[in-house]
Amino acid sequence: MKLRNRLKEWRAKRSVTQDDLAKAIEMSRQSINAIENGKFIPSVLNALKMADFFQTSVEDLFYLEKFSKEVK
């Protein structure tokens, strides 16, 4: 399984830049970019801060993508 996110979609809906979000939750813009690109997994605290910022649940921002295993 892999952690995926909808941060970019939520930012676009609210016209929020990576920098705006980063400043609001006290993270770097680079960290927000890395999270959006799947290169960094945020801490539970930061995921909760993002959910609070967007007034939604963590599950609306982050989800698990299941991989199907091919049996031979």
6: phi then psi, degrees, rounded to nearest 5: -120, 25
Query: Is 51 a domain residue?
Result: yes
What does pLDDT average to in each consecutive run of 10 residues of the chain (72 residues)?
Answer: 95 98 98 97 98 98 82 56
Q: How far apart are CA 24 and CA 21, in angstroms?
A: 5
Domain at 31, CATH number:
1.10.260.40
Q: Looking at residue 3, what is its pLDDT?
A: 93
* DSSP tag of 36: H
Q: Looking at residue 72, what is its pLDDT?
A: 56
User: Taking the CA of residue 67 as centre, how many other CA atoms within 13 Å lie in the half-sphere pointing to its CB?
Assistant: 7
**Total domain count for the chain?**
1
Q: Looking at residue 66, what is its pLDDT?
A: 85
Query: Is 47 a domain residue?
Result: yes
Domain extent at residue 54: 2-65
> Do 41 and 31 contact (CB within 8 A), yes or no?
no
| In the chain, beta strands by DSSP E | 2-5, 62-65
